[in-house]
Amino acid sequence: MRRMIETEPAAYMNPYVAGIGVGVALLISFLVLGAGLGASSGLARCAAWMEMCVLRTHVLNSDYFGKWGEHPLGYYLVFMLAGTFLGGLLSAVLACRLRVGVERGRACSVGRRATFALSGGVLVGFASRLASGCTSGQALTGTAMLLTGSIIFLVFIFVGGYASAWLVRRQWDD
């Protein structure tokens, strides 16, 4: 309770401890569910449910969404998605780090930053469904299984991230 009253943010978690925690969560997922972790399937199933509220017959007859049947939310990755969001929110509140705002550099307007974030999110979401999996599923689950394609993918994610950071760095500086 004392932490909630303080205004000074708590220190960040040790990244090695956090990494071990993710590894343990992945191991538990394999042992309990017989499957790894990911996020895009949970989002896709939420989208199927929202569309089903409006166009039920269309969704059930869809080649993509229809295969999930009458109850697309009844899937473990939907619960993982909700838990990730709620866990992050709880962590931010307990660490006194919850602030509403748009993180951006002085050279980037709020509208431009929001446009970049939304465009990037839509692009990554589309690509993850096209590839039948997201970066977290590929990187976490695939590399844990020592899949060659996943290891190569992870290397290129980092290469692409560093290249992209170099290209857009001026958005964060004067």
pTM: 0.69
The length of the chain in residues reads 174
Please list, in sequence order, all residues whose beta carbon lies within 8 angstroms of the beta carbon of residue 108, skipping any fewer than 6 positions away.
Answer: 116, 171, 172
Please list, in sequence order, all residues whose beta carbon lies within 8 angstroms of the beta carbon of residue 49, skipping any fewer than 6 positions away.
Answer: 72, 73
Q: What is the pLDDT of residues 34-83, one digit of tens each?
A: 888 877 788 889 989 999 999 999 889 888 888 888 888 988 888 888 88
Q: How many CB atoms lie within 10 A of CB 160?
A: 10
pLDDT classification of 24: cutoffs 50, 70, 90:
very high
Q: What is the pLDDT of residues 82-136, one digit of tens each?
A: 888 899 899 889 888 888 888 887 778 899 889 988 998 888 888 887 877 777 7
